[in-house]
Structure 1
Amino acid sequence: MQKLKDLIVKYYEQLSYLFFGGLATLLNFVILNIFQAAFGLDFAAGVGNVLNNAICILFAYWTNRTFVFRSKSRGAAAWQEFTKFVGCRIFTAVVDQLIMWGGVSVLGPMIAFVSPQLWANIVKLFSQVVVIVSNYVFSKILIFTKKAP
């Protein structure tokens, strides 16, 4: 039991990032499917995906700052951290948007073996893997950097 505890402590950041990243991804899928049901696939993969990303960026900032990287930044430093976070997330949101557009609008009509709604979820899953890995690298290297005391 102690070995498990030691592993959790040693890899807390990565494990908590996966956990909260998983929650953000779940939120992303829930919003995608709500938008599909309410407004249709074109909206969900287009404007809805932009709104979806905005909501998920705010959720991810709060969880990453509070639970994953345990940032203690205040004032101007916290504002700088937030703007870097949002900037990086906007970049990966554009990547997500391009993947969704290419997968749903360009490839989607050629995919006959699954429903368009299921295909949109498959494309979103692929996109989320790319986005999560990219976001962790950005967060670790550019955003939540530990400053020497």
Structure 2
Amino acid sequence: MKIYQKFKTYLEEKKLWEVFIYLFFGGLATLVNIVTFQVAQQGFDLSWTVSNTISWVCSVLFAFVTNKLWVFHSKTESFTALTWEFAKFILARLLSFAMDMACMFLFIDILSTGNLIAKIVTQVVVVVANYFFSKLFIFKKVEIIEDEKPNSSPR
């Protein structure tokens, strides 16, 4: 645990901890995406488009939870705020899903690469885009300013 703490402290000093933890959970979301893509395509003999859509849904749900709780430490005060945050997340992910589908089409149907290779390459593009969408538009840090209370203790 001491090595972990030193590593985390070092990255925090360099302002790289958030990027590192995003890439860690982004890697896991990518793994969820690739595994569900392969299972849907190979196990259930679905087309790459249907398999890609299923894998997108699974990885987006996984990513929302991990991004909210462990990457950006987002706190929402109400169900409405949570719903709005989730809606923004889905809208941004729909944009990256369009990028994903376009890249997959390019690699599979135009360049005739293998489906798995296309999926892996495409995920790099998607992870980078999703980080910026999440950082800039979805999980914004809200600064809470506490009122200063006058010192009411007798002197």
TM-score by length of 2: 0.81
TM-score by length of 1: 0.84
Runs of 4+ in 1 over 4 A off after TM superposition: none
> Counterpart of 2:87?
83
Cα distance in 2 for partners of 1:121, 1:62 equals 26
Cα distance in 2 for partners of 1:3, 1:90 equals 37
Cα shift at 1:103: 1.2
The yes-or-no answer on 1:144 pairing with 2:148 is no
> Counterpart of 1:15?
20
Unaligned runs of 5+ in 1: 112-118
Cα shift at 1:96: 0.4
Cα shift at 1:8: 3.6
Higher helix share: 1
Unaligned runs of 5+ in 2: 145-155
Q: Decide which moves more: 31-40 or 52-61.
A: 31-40
Between structure 1 and structure 2, the one with the greater Rg is 2
The alignment yields a C-alpha RMSD, in angstroms, of 1.7
Cα distance in 2 for partners of 1:99, 1:84 equals 23
Cα shift at 1:46: 0.8
Give CA-to-partner distance per residue, 1:97-117, whole Å, 9 cap, x none: 111122112221xx5xxxxxx
Flag the 1:3–1:52 CA change in 2: closer, same or farther, 3 A: closer
Aligned mate of 1:103, from 103, 107, 121: 107
Aligned mate of 1:48, from 44, 47, 51: 51
